[in-house]
Structure 1
Amino acid sequence: MPAMKLYVPHVGHMEGLQKLLADPSKIHSVYMAGSPDYIGTGRTNLSAPTLESIAEQTEYAHEKGVKIDMVLNSSCMGGQQLTPEGYRAIGWYLDRLNDIGIDSLTVADPYLIEMIAHEYDMETVVSVLSFVDSPQKAEFYEGLGADTIVVDPVVNRDFGKLEAIRDVTSGDLKLLVNEACLYQCPFRYAHFNFFSHANGPGPKPNVIDDYYYYKCLSLRIRNPEQIIKSPWIRPEDLSEYKHITDMFKIGGRTHFVEWILNNINAYYNESYDGNLLDLLDSIKDLKDTFYVANRDLEGAIEQWEKCDKNCHKCGYCKRLAENIIKIQTEDGNKKLSSIRNPEDI
């Protein structure tokens, strides 16, 4: 198996890229969002780089031996991509990215996947927001021309499915290691559709708050075993996946560079001594509430490798959560208390 390839998030401006690539030896590729005026993305845009900035950053990354991936993974474009005006606008933007020398494009819409695969030299990457969770879907997207598929994390612990996807595909597979969404999340489709419109071409929705995010947090606070059930992959467990792929993606392009660098070091070294929640994207607001000692999860992968996903019969993650998740409280000095006590939640 070749050396591990890490795909790492980038907020989108040159200063951040320079910090990320201070030591480029650990990074295979960085990914960032483009302009929301053409195609939205499945995350909040903290930066919307101009084409001039993208060109400058691409040149800088290539000088460091690092590839650039543009994430244009809107899960919903309201049908605009199929209108003459939308087709021309998207085509114009993709032409510019191709001229700049972007290495790959990550997209979610099957129409765009086929379009990019047949009309451009850039590598076509199927986004995690295409929800490829079966060999049948993987075959479908590869048939459209996809070079790489980012597998839906919902099957990160379903080794039978992962191995079946590997068996039927000839292209590359990439695993997202630290997203930490709820397992079988009921909000996932609606949440990413919301992001796609909020961070894409106008008119943008004038929303009061992100219902889905705060509902997700509240479910974990009331039921912390959901933290354990989330299909993240510990840095120490990457070796269990290397017969499937050598490509691992770290989520988190809405985080500060220091947070991203901490993740890079953890996954590159395949080791982390601290609170697992320090590494997880999407639930960063819980890292000061719960403490999950990463070392306490040693050996859990052996159970997950044979898990049949019948949580109501198994109870393993519930028991594990009761044993290792601690509540962080401020009482002069930070201390930990067990979640076994209901009054602590």
Structure 2
Amino acid sequence: MRLSVATNFDPQLIESLKDYPVVELFGKLREDVVGGGRAPYQLGKVSRRQLAEHVAQARGAGIAFNYLLNAACLGNVEITRKGQKKINRLLEWISRIGVTSVTVATPFMLQLVKTRFPQLRVRISVFAGVDRVRKAQMWEEMGADCIVLDSILVNRELQTLREIRKAVRCDLELMANNNCLSGCSMSPMHMNALAHAGQTGSENKGFFVDWCFLKCTAMKLENPVNYIRSEWIRPDDLPIYEQLGYDLFKIAERDLPTEILLARVKAYAARRFDGNLLDLIQPYGFQGIKEGARYYRRGLGWMLRFLIRPGLVNPLRLIPLKRLAELRGMIRPLEGDPPVYIDNRALDGFLERFQDQSCRDVDCEDCRWCHQFAARAVHIDSASRDQALAAYTELFDSMHGGDMWRYLPQKKNGVPHGGSCRDPECSS
């Protein structure tokens, strides 16, 4: 077993991981010319000096570092003189500080790195959507050293995983503990939105309202089967994937508290977990974490940059977002019993159906395998659920109807509320 683990740039994290099969940490600057797979508001600020020191500490512990250049779209900056200079400078710095590999999501970035910085190993991001044999072969033919397969599309397709492993010689990696929806139709929009959010040249300068994330989390509360109809791999099921020839697993999430990341590594290294599966796969809703921890530290500067942007959005319309974040444990730790609990032991046997059956062209309502396990394993507090769904509804109404971006009352048929139409074609 080999684990590639998200970093939070805490020196103690590296010390804590020494006793586990961790071969690599992955992370990046909060923003750079390329961008990545997380919006800046989700990540703590890290300077170039801090990142370089973290890479050096990791190397001293025998752990490599993978720098993420995994934006699904660069906005065509990569085909301009200015963009090329910035990308070159970034890669020169990455190489100089001892980074051993980078993750990219576009074929052009793969070829660029391989040609100009051949000492760097290049990994293909989950955002590249590799979900079948020919795609994997094409990336390998272009020089990929490792491919992270598209977990949304293949983590439950065991026969596909078997065939891909047989078809290529390069390293393959599986995302173990993401919890996106399997076959999610929002995925292309989401990966592109996140890519631009973290690019230094973005006109929004870090401002981002993650509609896809909000929609996904609401869908799970509305229909608990969506907690199961997902992409995660339980620690207990790793042996099944290892039998298929996979031994490299990616553990998320970047910038989480050290104790949370360590608990996830322990569970996957042990190939067993007893407790709430959400503790391993959800990027929020933590318990037992001090509110003053770095993960929850959000000062005035953070709010002014990422939320209070009156030129981009009506800040008052973000109040439901703040209330929702508090209810769901996104900006402070939860107290009391968890509002959602997924009993991992009740999921024993879940993967049996997928040993010889596909989900790709199956109607979930005809199958209902995930529904059966959701009924056994997923427990939701109804009061907290109702509160959260009410906040989601208010927020979505504001976004879908456009009120979030208005300061004046909405017009009806081109007429402000309380006004009268002077166009002779208007009906009385």
With normalisation by structure 2, the TM-score equals 0.72
Change (3 A) 1:17 1:72: farther
2:374 to 321, 325, 339: 321
Identity percentage of aligned residues: 31
Counterpart residue number, 1:335: none
Matched position secondary structure for 2:4: strand
1:77 to 74, 80, 95: 74
Secondary structure in 2 aligned to 1:21? Answer: helix
**For residues 326 and 63 of structure 1, what CA distance do their matches in structure 2 show?**
44
- The 1-side partners of 2:194 and 2:275 are apart by 31
Q: Contact between 2:65 and 2:99, CA under 8 Å: does it hold in 1?
A: yes
Inter-partner Cα distance in structure 1 for 2:156 and 2:208: 36
1:212 is aligned with what amino acid? Answer: C
Deviates more, 1:259-268 or 1:37-46: 37-46
Q: Distance in 1 between matches of 2:184 and 2:342?
A: 21
Q: Against the structure 1 CA distance between its residues 23 and 282, is the aligned structure 2 distance closer, same or farther, given a 3 Å change threshold?
A: closer
Which of 82, 86, 90 is the matching residue for 1:93? 90
Please give the root-mean-square deviation of Cα atoms over the aligned residues, in Å: 2.0
How far does residue 109 in structure 1 lie from its aligned partner after superposition? 1.5
Alignment match, 2:15: 21
Secondary structure (helix, strand or coil) at the match of 1:175 reads strand
- The alignment status of 1:276 with 2:277, answered yes or no, reads yes
- CA deviation after TM superposition for structure 1 residue 124, in Å: 0.3
Q: After TM superposition, list the pairs within 5 Å mapping 1:1-345 onto structure 2.
A: 4-11=1-8, 13=9, 16-26=10-20, 27-34=22-29, 36-45=31-40, 46-120=43-117, 121-153=119-151, 154-205=153-204, 209-242=209-242, 243-282=244-283, 284=285, 285=328, 288-309=338-359, 310=362, 311-328=364-381
Secondary structure of the corresponding residue to residue 19 of structure 1: helix
Shift of 1:101: 1.6
Q: Following the alignment from structure 1 to structure 2, what is the Cα–Cα distance between the partners of residues 175 and 21?
A: 25
Contact map agreement 2:33 2:87 (CA 8 A) in 1:
yes
Question: Does the C-alpha gap of structure 1 residues 283 and 63 become closer, same or farther in structure 2, counting only changes over 3 Å?
Answer: closer
Q: Which amino acid aligns with 1:263?
A: R
Give the distance between the partners of 2:78 and 2:140, measured in 1 at CA.
21
Structure 2: stretches of 5+ with no match in the other structure: 286-327, 385-428
Maintained 8 Å contact 1:44/1:254: no
| Alignment deviations for residues 195-234 of structure 1 (CA, whole Å, 9 cap, x no partner) | 1111112234375632111111111111110111102100
CA contact (8 A) 1:38 1:89 kept: yes
- Output the CA distance in 2 between the equivalents of 1:161 and 1:34: 34
How far the C-alpha of 1:55 sits from its partner, in A, is: 2.2
State the AA in 1 paired with 2:345: R
TM-score of the superposed pair, with normalisation by structure 1: 0.89
Query: What secondary structure sits across from 1:271 in the alignment?
Result: coil
CA distance in 1, matches of 2:177, 2:270: 15
Q: Which amino acid aligns with 1:136?
A: R
Whether the 8 Å CA contact 1:69–1:106 is kept in 2: the answer is: yes
Instruction: Specify whether residues 225 and 64 from structure 1 end up closer, same or farther in structure 2 by C-alpha distance, changes over 3 A only.
Output: same
SS at match of 2:264: helix
| Aligned residues of 1:105 and 1:124 also touching (Cα < 8 A) | yes
Matched position secondary structure for 2:190:
helix
User: How many pairs were matched up?
Assistant: 325
The answer to whether the 8 A contact 2:24-2:63 is kept is yes
Equivalent-residue separation in structure 1 for 2:353 and 2:239 (angstroms): 16
Aligned equivalents of 1:144, 1:49: Cα separation in 2: 33
8 Å contact 2:30–2:198 — kept in the other structure? no
Amino acid across the alignment from 1:260: L
Give the Å deviation of 1:161.
Answer: 1.0
Tell me the distance in 1 between the aligned counterparts of 2:174 and 2:123: 12
Distance 1:158 1:325 in 2: 23
Unpaired segments of 5 or more residues in structure 1?
332-345
User: Could you tell me how far apart the structure 2 residues matched to 1:281 and 1:117 are?
Assistant: 35
Q: Higher Cα Rg: structure 1 or 2? A: 2
Letter of the 1:58 partner, please give it.
V
Specify whether residues 68 and 109 from structure 1 end up closer, same or farther in structure 2 by C-alpha distance, changes over 3 A only: same
Cα deviation code 1:156-204 (max 9, x no counterpart): 1101111111111111000000111011111111112111111112234
